[in-house]
Amino acid sequence: MKNKLYIISVDALESQDIEILKTLPNFSYIMENGAVVTGVREVYPTLTNVNHVSIITGATPAVHGVFHNQHPYAPNADSNWNVIGFNWMWESSNIRCETLIDAAKKAGLKTCCCTWPSMGGTGGNVAEWNVAEIWPHLFPSVRESYAASCTPNAMERYYDKYVAPFDFSKSIDVDPFNVEIVCDMIENLNPDLLLHHIITLDAVRHKNGNNSEKVRLALARADGFIGKIIEASKRAGTFEETNFAIVGDHGQICVKEQFNINVELNKRGILGQKDGLITDYTAYSFSCGFSGLIIMKDGATEEDKNRVYRALVDIANEYPDKIERIFTQEEAAEEGLAGPFAFVVETVEGVSLGNALSGETVISVNSPDYHYYKSNHGYHPSKGPKTLFIACGPNIRQGARVNGVSIMQECPTFAEILGVTVKEAKLPPIDILK
Ligand SMILES: [Zn+2]
């Protein structure tokens, strides 16, 4: 029988967190008894859903189809449009290629998943037992939101017990009850493959800055959750046969200022706006944080595209300390990024790309007009603190230390542990296996 694999992602876990992790009981247990892989290079853009899908497909966004956390949309549809707006790519039907879950199911393995990004809905390519990650108010009630995104068996088994008692009007801190669901899955369903996503660290970094003292507390909290999962596997009697893999999806960079490129596109006649809402456009920018996707209007001609490109180059020339690079579609594809956009704008490090259509072009993070994150991601993976991957268990070589791999190599490593292959995972596994 193959050994088990539990993959736990700690959102925004960075290689440089290791010094803190060494002081925490469960992270340090895993590192001392297993492998530590630092310098894990993410895929572009360094966003949560994009990288979580690369972790389980081994593929680039151009191949797997999840190129952003959200489907881009212009602000005339919804005035709440911003970098953490709506229309998330929460459904697994956004994923266009085989995943580790698909491969495990095909091999007859028991699969469980709790809150892995882009794993909701009825796409069919979800775990046998699936509690999806979804905004609780996507549908009129929390129950309807969960019912739309979880498998019926998981909905029936977990909703009333763990989700219903939670008051979303007071808090959105879902990590504590999610870990209870994970432990319940381990003790009662005996999964061969289990995936789970812990989100708080990312939120703490966004709110307080990448290197805030609160990061230590968030890591200690994540350590406690991992401890609960390890204890559940001991109670289930499966600890000895289980590989525990802790992954991150990206780091963060502190924001110095925000650059509202749509304001400049407005000045150059590329888009029209009234009261901060789009009236008409040839193109607009949809922020990824430290980069942005340039979305063309439907039916845009080659001449429209050329005009937009000239405007973007003009903006980059006027603001060389804000815009680092304009990628054409072809150049973005070389970075493994493709989707319904014509260009990708990469900012200078520390310059966040805003979505605003009117007001100041540049807003300092210290200005009272700045209302967004202190720290963010979404930049090109050549930048920022790289993420981390640690693992221990019967298939992992104790003492393995590797630096500098692609996040896409995690999937073939996991596939080898489970004795399966994942179709688009074409990079070699990471050298940490026995
Ligand atoms: Zn993330």
Q: What is the whole-number distance in angstroms between the Cα of residue 70 and the centre of ligand 1? A: 13
pLDDT in tens, 101-141: 999 999 999 999 999 999 999 888 999 999 988 888 888 99
Examine the pLDDT at 49 and tell me if it is beyond 80.
yes
Mean pLDDT, the chain, integer? 95
Same domain, 12 and 159: yes
What's the domain count of the chain? 2
145 lies in some domain: yes
Distance 250 CA to ligand 1 centre (A): 6
pLDDT at 77: 52
**401 shares a domain with 360:** no
- For residue 104, the domain's CATH number is 3.40.720.10
Scan for tokens 């979800």, then name that residue: 126
Q: Measured in angstroms, how far is the CA atom of residue 14 from the centroid of ligand 1?
A: 11
Asked whether the predicted pLDDT for residue 84 surpasses 90, the reply is: no
Q: Do residues 47 and 69 touch, judged by C-beta distance below 8 A?
A: yes
Tens digits of per-residue pLDDT, 3-22?
999 999 999 999 999 999 99
Residue 367 has pLDDT above 70, yes or no: yes
Residue 413 and residue 329 share a domain = no
For residue 389, being part of any structural domain is answered with: yes
C-alpha 282 to ligand 1 mean position (Å): 31
Q: How far is the CA of 32 from the centre of ligand 1 (A)?
A: 26
The answer to whether residues 116 and 12 belong to one domain is yes
Amino acid making up residue 82:
N
Q: How confident is the model at residue 433 (pLDDT cuts 50, 70, 90)?
A: very high
Positive or negative CA dihedral for 367, 73, 261, 327? positive
41 found inside a domain: yes
Q: How far does the centroid of ligand 1 lie from the alpha carbon of residue 264, in Å?
A: 29
Q: Tell me: do 217 and 276 sit in the same domain.
A: no
pLDDT at position 1 over 60: no
Parallel, antiparallel, or unpaired for β 111-114 and 193-198?
parallel
In a domain, 90, yes or no: no
Tell whether the model's pLDDT for residue 82 goes beyond 80.
no
Is 399 found in the same domain as 307?
Answer: no
- In this structure, how many other beta carbons lie within 10 angstroms of the beta carbon of residue 374? 16
Residue 75 pLDDT greater than 80, yes or no: no
Domain shared by 305 and 352, yes or no: yes
Domain assignment of residue 241, yes or no: yes
Residues 109 and 153 in one domain: yes
Q: What would the mean pLDDT of 256-280 be, rounded to a whole number?
A: 93
Q: In Å, how far are 112, 205, 228, 240 from 245, measured between CA atoms?
A: 15, 22, 15, 14
CA of 364 to the centre of ligand 1 (A): 24
Ligand 1 centroid to residue 69 C-alpha, Å = 9
Q: Are 223 and 283 members of one domain?
A: no
11 and 23 housed in the same domain: yes
Q: Residue 320 sits in which domain range?
A: 256-372
**Low-confidence winner among 70-74, 210-214, 229-233 (lowest mean pLDDT):** 70-74
Question: What spacing in Å lies between the alpha carbon of 266 and ligand 1's midpoint?
Answer: 31
The band of 219, judged by pLDDT with boundaries at 50, 70 and 90, is very high
Q: What is the CATH number of the domain that holds 321?
A: 3.30.1360
pLDDT value, residue 371: 84
Confidence of residue 275 (pLDDT cuts 50, 70, 90): confident
Q: Are residues 109 and 38 in the same domain?
A: yes
Q: What is the pLDDT of residue 9?
A: 98
Q: Which residues contact 177 (CB under 8 A, 6 or more apart)?
A: 162, 163, 166
Ligand 1: centre distance to CA 202 (Å): 6
Rounded to whole angstroms, how far apart are CA atoms 332 and 326?
A: 9
Q: Give the mean model confidence (pLDDT) for residues 155-177.
A: 95
Q: How many angstroms separate the alpha carbon of residue 89 from the centre of ligand 1?
A: 14
- pLDDT at 83 > cutoff 50: no
Residue 86 pLDDT more than 80? no
DSSP state at residue 163: I
Summarised one tens digit per residue, pLDDT across range 369-419 is 888 899 999 999 999 999 999 999 999 999 999 999 999 999 999 999 999
Min mean pLDDT across 59-68, 71-80, 82-91 is at 71-80
What single letter denotes the amino acid at residue 428?
P
What's the CA gap between 54 and 95, in Å, rounded? 10
Q: State how far the Cα of 121 lies from the Cα of 90, in Å rounded to an integer.
A: 8
pLDDT digits (tens, 9 = 90+) for 282-319: 999 999 999 999 999 999 999 999 999 999 999 999 99
Digit-coded pLDDT (tens) for 317-363 = 999 999 999 999 999 999 999 999 999 999 999 999 998 898 999 99
Classify residue 193: in a domain, yes or no.
yes
**Together in a domain, 283 and 363:** yes
